[in-house]
């Protein structure tokens, strides 16, 4: 290492030592491993949708062995990651204390115990996608290729962990889904079955959002906070209800923004595209923006022979589409 590199190293180390309050992590308890969490999610997806993920050609003859292997794999790997988060956040670290170890095993066991019920909910999510998207040709297409279902699946797994008191691992999971799908669902949100996100890019669902059964969202929808409640010292009050409630059978079209913890969208309502909404609406309402006037005026066509004029055709244009293959 030459003199310049040694000086650069010393300068960087000085920021670690002289500014301990800066964002950095030097601790005896390692943080959860993001890559390992992604691998756990892959195994859980295999358990939720057997035959779609993992080894191709899965048959009933081999299903018991494969499921048993994945269950054991998820249990051991998830327990390790939960233990890391638990030890890191524990207020009373004590080498002789076994609470964090017992808690990690309990969380991993409870997640696996919740998968049968979760499969039933995801079945309703898949059927909702097929029912509401005329472009869908099969359940297989939805499970294999729809980003909305992928984001919902990972959210539902993460939410099971939130319900057991975890924060970091669930957020890593849903941000992984966010990076893959463009859909941002906080793991703390509460979402009923039969949930469908069509297209999905740009959807944001905040932490304290409540969504009922059989709700459909389109791309670019934001279910967000209008403001952040603060205490007398000006600190943000965490966990306060600050995101909207969407009741059952609501449809929210592309680009709509619904804000506020006191905002309730009544059952069966339809929210039009690009609506900005910060107040509640009663059940079975239709909310749309006032129509702006659309004006169509003629344009002067380019002069023959000018640079903007179309080139002469070398043959007649086809009068019909070619037959499909």
10 Å Cβ neighbour count for 49? 19
Q: Which residues pair with 216 in a beta bridge?
A: 196, 251
Burial of 235 (0-12, 13-18, 19+ CB in 10 A): exposed
Per-residue pLDDT for 187 more than 60?
yes
**Separation CA 190–CA 208 (nearest Å):** 7
What is residue 104's predicted lDDT score, i.e. its pLDDT? 96
pLDDT in tens, 269-281: 999 999 999 999 9
Once rounded to an integer, what is the mean pLDDT over residues 36-62? 85
The dihedral region occupied by 54, where left means phi > 0, alpha psi between -120 and 50, and beta the remainder, is left
Among candidate residues 158, 248, 252, the one with its CA nearest the CA of residue 199:
252
Q: Which residues pair with 12 in a beta bridge?
A: none
Write down how long the chain is: 325
Average confidence score pLDDT of the chain: 89
What is residue 28's predicted lDDT score, i.e. its pLDDT? 61
**pLDDT, greater one: 181 or 296:** 181
Q: Running DSSP on this structure, what letter comes out for residue 305?
A: T
Burial of 202 (0-12, 13-18, 19+ CB in 10 A): middle
Q: Which of 13-27, 53-67, 207-221 has the highest mean predicted lDDT (pLDDT)? A: 207-221
**Separation CA 33–CA 17 (nearest Å):** 25
**Separation CA 123–CA 194 (nearest Å):** 8
**Separation CA 84–CA 19 (nearest Å):** 25
Domains of the chain and any CATH numbers: 26-183 (1.10.3130.10), 202-289 (2.160.10.10)
| Percent of the chain predicted with pLDDT > 90 | 64
Place of tokens 């943000």: 236
**pLDDT, greater one: 226 or 188:** 188
**pLDDT, greater one: 147 or 56:** 147
State the pLDDT confidence band at 94, using cuts at 50, 70 and 90: low
What is residue 304's predicted lDDT score, i.e. its pLDDT? 83
- Cβ-count burial 74-96 (b if 16+ within 10 Å, e if not): beebbbebbbbbbbbeeeeeeee
What is residue 291's predicted lDDT score, i.e. its pLDDT? 77
pLDDT in tens, 2-28: 889 988 888 888 877 766 666 666 666
What is the arrangement of strands in the sheet containing 270-271, beginning at the earlier edge strand?
196-197, 216-217, 251-252, 270-271, 286-287
Once rounded to an integer, what is the mean pLDDT over residues 126-137? 97
What is residue 325's predicted lDDT score, i.e. its pLDDT? 47
| Percent of the chain predicted with pLDDT > 70 | 86
Beta carbons of 157 and 118 less than 8 angstroms apart: yes
Per-residue pLDDT for 118 more than 50?
yes
């Amino acid at each position: 290492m030459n003199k310049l590199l040694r000086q650069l190293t010393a300068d960087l180390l000085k920021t670690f030592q002289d500014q301990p309050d800066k964002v950095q992590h030097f601790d005896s308890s390692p943080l959860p491993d993001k890559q390992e969490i992604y691998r756990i999610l892959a195994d859980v997806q295999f358990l939720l949708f057997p035959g779609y993920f993992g080894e191709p050609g899965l048959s009933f003859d081999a299903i018991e062995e494969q499921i048993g292997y994945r269950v054991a794999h998820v249990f051991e790997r998830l327990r390790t990651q939960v233990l890391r988060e638990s030890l890191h956040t524990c207020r009373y670290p004590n080498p002789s204390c076994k609470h964090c170890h017992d808690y990690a095993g309990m969380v991993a066991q409870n997640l696996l115990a919740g998968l049968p019920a979760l499969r039933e909910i995801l079945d309703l999510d898949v059927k909702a996608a097929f029912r509401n998207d005329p472009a869908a040709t099969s359940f297989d297409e939805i499970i294999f290729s729809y980003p909305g279902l992928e984001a919902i699946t990972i959210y539902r797994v993460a939410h099971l962990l939130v319900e057991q008191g975890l924060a970091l691992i669930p957020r890593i999971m849903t941000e992984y889904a966010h990076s893959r799908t463009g859909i941002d669902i906080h793991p703390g949100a509460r979402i009923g079955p039969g949930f469908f996100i069509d297209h999905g890019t740009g959807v944001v669902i905040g932490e304290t959002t409540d969504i009922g059964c059989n709700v459909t969202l389109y791309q670019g929808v934001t279910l967000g906070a209008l403001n952040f409640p603060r205490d007398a010292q000006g600190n943000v009050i965490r966990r306060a209800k600050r995101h909207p409630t969407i009741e059952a059978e609501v449809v929210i079209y592309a680009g709509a923004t619904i804000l506020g913890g006191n905002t309730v969208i009544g059952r069966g309502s339809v929210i039009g595209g690009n609506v900005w909404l910060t107040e509640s609406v009663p059940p079975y309402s239709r909310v749309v923006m006032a129509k702006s006037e659309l004006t169509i005026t003629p344009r002067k066509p380019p002069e023959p022979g000018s640079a903007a004029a179309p080139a002469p055709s070398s043959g007649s244009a086809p009068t019909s589409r070619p037959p499909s293959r």
